[in-house]
Structures are given as C-alpha cells and as structure tokens.
Structure 1
Amino acid sequence: MTRVLVTGADGSIGRAAVHGLQAAGYDVIGLSLRYDHTSTADRPLVGDARSAKDVAEALDGVDAVLHLAAIPHPSLGTPEEVFENNVAATFNVLAQAGQAGIARVVIASSINAFGVPMNVNEVEPAYYPLDEDVEADIADAYSLSKSVDEQSARMAWRRWGTNVIALRFPLVKTREDLFRFAAMAERDPSMMAREGWAYLDLRDGIRAVIAALESPAAGAHVVGLAADDILIDRQTSDLLREYASGVPLRRPVRGRDGLVDTTRAQELLGFKPRYSIHDEEDQVVSAVTT
C-alpha cells in the first residue's frame, strides 16, 4: 500500500490525516467539495464523495481509502440533508472502492452511532465503559447516518470482500482546542455525561487512522476510540455519582479513568493512545506504539 485516497481532505481531521499519511511515507490523493485551506496532498481534487464519477476518478491508482467526508453535526443541515449526504457519500465510496477491487477502506464513524449522546429524550447509556456493542437508542439524523454507515461497511465486506474498519471517533481536536472544550465541560459537566466525557487528541486520531489502514484484519469492524482518561479534571467516580448515578458500571474506575472501552482498538489495530490533556504538553502517556 503506497497511495491513499482521503475524502473530506479539507476538514480538520482530513488535513491532519493528509499530512500524517505523507509523513508516514504515503502518497495522498485528496478529495474535497472545495478547499478553504492550502492542501499538502500530492494530488488535491475537487469533487463530491456522493458522485460515482468523481470518486471513480479519484480512485485511479489508489491502494486504500480513508473516508472522512460528511456533515459532521446535526446542526449543520436539515435532518434530511445530514442523513442523505452522509449515507450516500459513504455508500458511494464503499461501492466504488469495492468495484475497483480496493482491499482496505477506513471510514469515520462516531461515538454518536449508538444514539444516546445526541438523543432528545431523557435517556442514558446502558452501561459504562461504552463499547462497540452498547445498546442503541437513536433519535437524530446524524447518529442514524453513522449507524447506517457501519451497516454499509458490513454490506461492502459481504458484497465485494472489501475490508472496512469504521472508527468511532469521540471529540477529536488539537490540544489547544481540547482545552477550550474542557473549560466548557467543566462549567457544565452534564453536557458530555452521555458520552462519558470522552475525547481524543488529534495526533492520536491520526495514529489510529494509520493503524487502521495498515491493519491486516479481514472483514468489517467497528472500533471505538478515546483517550485513556476523561476530558474533565475531576475524578471519574465523582462525575458518575453526580451525573450518571443510574448507569451500571461494568468495571471499577480510578482517578480520571476513561469511560470508553478501547480493547478492540488495542487487539485489532495494536493501537493505544499516547496523549492526555492532563499531562505536560507532548508527554507520552503510553510507550505502546502502532
């Protein structure tokens, strides 16, 4: 594998992924509806991930695909626009890649794929730590689109034999932006309670992407990601007692332990996060590398 197509190449994760893949030695084809930033992609293309023609042309000579193109929040469009855009783009990319015989696709799913974090109803997760099999309760178009994307990945595996890894990203930001979100969450911890105050440093997000692209795992897999700790500088047990007292806890927590089970990421991808918002800048949390 030497050449990777990145859709959504001008998004915040997309730009970092293009740079990270190039630093790892890959040639990168970028596909974006438009470019508001200067792209470092070896071949930046303007096109729509929903277009069979645009994607087929972008796939020429490509060995693997990283699909990030999406409307990333339900507030950025009508429910119809969010759902139709995200589902159509993901299915089209998977179908074009499958028909082209590309063996590996990584798609961006979300911690919201199980529906509870953005649910308009008074619901809570079935348990903590969250894992890939937690019971779904979906009441918004964005969460539904990500759940359908994961089903589309399974279909692509069964139909074309395409190996697909769907990464369930939590809040993924640069270190500087994480501090801003942490300050907001400190003022109102309830705003992130239903996603377990989960986050991931953008640098770890790119490491996870590369690990997924390079994984030899066959089939279609959903993989949950998060830092080893929570975003807020408080004891996890205290937050649970105050904001999620009715949610069963499947394992004991200590200190600022995270509430997303990342066992599958470790076992399937060999991935473990390095960075924590609570450490000195750039201090390595774990010596485990991909």
Structure 2
Amino acid sequence: MRVLVTGAAGRLGSAVLTELAARGIAVTALVERDPGPLTAERVVVGDARDPAAVRSALEGADAVVHTAALPSPEIAAPEVVFSVNTQATFVVLNEAGEQGVRRAVIASSLSITGLPFARSRPSPPYLPLDERVPLQIEDPYALSKQVDEATAAMMHRRHGMIVAALRFPFLGDRARLAAHADRLARDPAGGATEMWSYLDLRDAARACLLGLTAPLHGAPIIFLAAPETLVTTPTEELLATHHPGVPCRTTFPGRTVAIDLEPARRLLGFTALHPFPEERQS
C-alpha cells in the first residue's frame, strides 16, 4: 500500500507519517511549502486545492489520509477558512476517486457540533455526544467540516470510495496536552464545549491507519477521544456545573468522557493507548 498524506507537515499529518513509516507503509507527503526533511519516501510541494498538484501527489497511491486544513475559524477571515477547507477536501477526494483510489480518511472535528466556537455558548442537546447529535453551527470552521463530511458521502456515491470522517477532539503531544491540562485545571469552563476531551497524537495517527484498513462501508462518521477527560474533577460534577439540565443517556463514572466511543471500538477496533498522564493507564 502507498498512502498519500495531505497536510503532511502539520500536527496530525506529521504524526500520521511517523505511524505509517513505523508500519513499513510507503508514503507520499503533500505539503503546501517545503518544511525540510519529512518521514516520507516522496514529497510533493503544492496546494491541496490544486487538482494538478493533487494528481501528481496521487501517483501510485492506493489510499489517502486528508489532514490539510485551516484548523480554526480564528486563523483567517471567515470566507477564507470555509473556502480553503472545503475546496481542498473536494479536490483531494475527487481526484483520488478519479484515479481509482477506494479508501480515504478525512480529519473531521468535534468542532462540527458547533459548540467550541459558538458565540451563543450553547449546550449540547443531549449527552454523550454521538454521530447523530444535532449540529449547532455558528462558525465557518464547523461549517467547513459539515461540508467536508457531506463531500465524503458524495464521493462514496460518486466513486464507490470508502471515506471515513474521524471527528477528532483536542490533539497534542505530551507537552501540548500538559499545557492544555494546566489551562483546564485553572479554568474548567474552558473545556466545557469540548467535554474536556483530548487525544494523544499517536492515538490519532493510529486511528487514521485503522480508518484505511478496518472493514468499513460507505462514509462512516466516527467520534474519537481518550476514554477519560483531561481534568481531575469527576465528569458528572463538571456536567452539573457547566451543562446543567442537559439530558444524559448514560452515567459517566469518574472521569469518563461524555462522548460515545462505542462506534470507534466497533468499526475501527480503536481504543486510545496513550492516556494523559501516562500513569492513568491501568
């Protein structure tokens, strides 16, 4: 197998390169500008919105992991965030389908719920979050992810390509997770819109590989997270304080994250292996 990884110099993309290299899988990296040495056999410099650059990067590829995106509605003007993200996803998946690629993973986000960047500060309609939760989108980043997931479904119908949309929470290496944990310890309200969830980049990269190799069908949408939150306060106490009155369809003992992770286990065989801090692992 040869895998094209877009956004390969980014936080998630570079972690995916490391995971694939460790498995002995050949990789082509598509990057917007040359970042220097990468863990890839082949590097193509070009824009993921450019069909010609994507066609070149797809040469010999059997699968795609698409991580290229502007990762926040605050990183550029609203119209730029929306148009860059949605055009890149459309071009990458359509060119892949035209070239006969039949497996792809796209990096979606928990932010698709609309909660993290909403000005109105809504609460979820129910918990745990799952792939059927009604979206409450108020920002261009979340909207771009909604369009990306619709694009994935369309490409499945158009090309017969299996496209897994992985809804990632806050991602980080150990240093980034530690810094985020410190922020949440000082202000737990800062994590309420993301259910205080997180995922180590190593686990996120492994999930991407599973998205290419697990026996999936269609264009599944899958939430991912570590099974426990990034804070020490019990989850039900956090929910009572920050999401009072939200219906809970199950209990959340201890630090259990308020996200339905059963589909990740069932569809991908995925459970996070790198809790933060490491001593939480049993």
Equivalences for residues 42-121 of structure 1 within 5 A: 42-121=41-120
- Give the structure 1 partner of residue 207 of structure 2: 208
3-state DSSP of counterpart to 2:199: strand
Residues 129 and 260 of structure 2 are in contact (CA less than 8 Å); yes or no, is this contact kept in structure 1? yes
Equivalences for residues 182-193 of structure 1 within 5 A: 182-193=181-192
Residues 94 and 155 of structure 2 are in contact (CA less than 8 Å); yes or no, is this contact kept in structure 1? yes
**How far 1:98 sits from its partner (Å)?**
0.8
Could you tell me how far apart the structure 1 residues matched to 2:53 and 2:34 are?
Answer: 16
3-state DSSP of counterpart to 2:133: coil
Equivalences for residues 2-13 of structure 1 within 5 A: 2-13=1-12
- Give the structure 2 partner of residue 27 of structure 1: 26
Could you tell me how far apart the structure 2 residues matched to 1:222 and 1:16 are?
Answer: 21
**How far 1:122 sits from its partner (Å)?**
3.1
Equivalences for residues 110-259 of structure 1 within 5 A: 110-259=109-258
Structure 1 counterpart of 2:134, one-letter code: E
**How far 1:186 sits from its partner (Å)?**
1.3
Could you tell me how far apart the structure 1 residues matched to 2:241 and 2:35 are?
Answer: 42
**How far 1:269 sits from its partner (Å)?**
0.7
Could you tell me how far apart the structure 1 residues matched to 2:268 and 2:36 are?
Answer: 31
Shift >2 Å, 4+ stretches: 35-38
Could you tell me how far apart the structure 2 residues matched to 1:118 and 1:246 are?
Answer: 21
Q: Give TM-score, length-normalised by structure 1.
A: 0.95
3-state DSSP of counterpart to 1:128: coil
Unaligned stretches of 5+ in structure 2? none
Could you tell me how far apart the structure 2 residues matched to 1:260 and 1:276 are?
Answer: 16
The number of residues matched between the two structures is 282
Say if 2:271 is the partner of 1:276: no
Q: Equivalent pairs: percent with the same residue?
A: 44
**How far 1:194 sits from its partner (Å)?**
1.7
Unaligned stretches of 5+ in structure 1? 286-290
Could you tell me how far apart the structure 2 residues matched to 1:98 and 1:175 are?
Answer: 36
Residues 229 and 257 of structure 1 are in contact (CA less than 8 Å); yes or no, is this contact kept in structure 2? yes
Structure 1 counterpart of 2:57, one-letter code: A
Could you tell me how far apart the structure 1 residues matched to 2:36 and 2:124 are?
Answer: 38
Q: In the TM superposition, what whole-angstrom CA distance separates every residue of 1:37-58 from its partner, at most 9, and x where no partner exists?
A: 5212110110110000000111
Residues 9 and 31 of structure 2 are in contact (CA less than 8 Å); yes or no, is this contact kept in structure 1? yes
Q: In the TM superposition, what whole-angstrom CA distance separates every residue of 1:221-260 from its partner, at most 9, and x where no partner exists?
A: 1110000000111111111111111211110111111111
- Give the structure 2 partner of residue 288 of structure 1: none
Structure 2 counterpart of 1:29, one-letter code: T
Question: Over aligned residue pairs, what C-alpha RMSD do you find?
Answer: 1.1
Could you tell me how far apart the structure 1 residues matched to 2:112 and 2:239 are?
Answer: 22
**How far 1:284 sits from its partner (Å)?**
4.5
Q: Give TM-score, length-normalised by structure 2.
A: 0.97
Could you tell me how far apart the structure 2 residues matched to 1:168 and 1:54 are?
Answer: 26
Structure 1 residues 114-123 or 87-96, which shifts more? 114-123
Could you tell me how far apart the structure 2 residues matched to 1:196 and 1:118 are?
Answer: 13
Residues 115 and 121 of structure 2 are in contact (CA less than 8 Å); yes or no, is this contact kept in structure 1? no
Go from structure 1 to structure 2 and tell me whether the alpha carbon gap of 1:255 and 1:284 turns closer, same or farther (over 3 Å shift): closer
Residues 29 and 45 of structure 1 are in contact (CA less than 8 Å); yes or no, is this contact kept in structure 2? yes
Could you tell me how far apart the structure 2 residues matched to 1:227 and 1:27 are?
Answer: 28
Could you tell me how far apart the structure 1 residues matched to 2:195 and 2:207 are?
Answer: 20
**How far 1:151 sits from its partner (Å)?**
0.3
3-state DSSP of counterpart to 2:74: helix
Could you tell me how far apart the structure 1 residues matched to 2:191 and 2:32 are?
Answer: 31
Structure 2 counterpart of 1:243, one-letter code: H
3-state DSSP of counterpart to 2:55: helix
